[in-house]
Structure 1
Amino acid sequence: MRIVVDYDRCEGHGLCEEQAPEVFRLDDAGDLVHRFDGRDVPEELAEAAARGAGVCPVAALRVAG
């Protein structure tokens, strides 16, 4: 499973980071860092990653395959 990020939509609310800090974090400038950008999220983190994507208030995160 991959998480696709629309970085232009992301407003840095940080809700994804609260749900899955192993997958998402905000850097010092408040920009999203997706640790598995462009590659599959490890199976053991997939559920948390999907939760993180699901709470995004601006729909900047999408679960793909």
Structure 2
Amino acid sequence: MDIDWAALGQVFGISMVATVALVGVFTLGITGSTARKADGTATSQLSRTGAYLCFTLCAVAVAYGIYLIAA
């Protein structure tokens, strides 16, 4: 049994980058949806829309990962 260390390293590297990117996008979504203005008023429509976009990107990435596993 031979292990292709180069391929294993590539999978590890891509997995790490994808994980950090997905967590970062999700964090931006949480930050955008809970952000308050300096005067304490609710979030703006733009930040809420950006948060929804971040959550949508996360859902698409997860769905694509499930598709890759199932295919």
Normalised by the length of structure 1, the TM-score is: 0.29
Structure that is richer in strand per residue: 1
Q: From the CA coordinates, give the structure whose radius of gyration is larger.
A: 2
Q: Whose helix fraction is larger, Structure 1's or Structure 2's?
A: 2
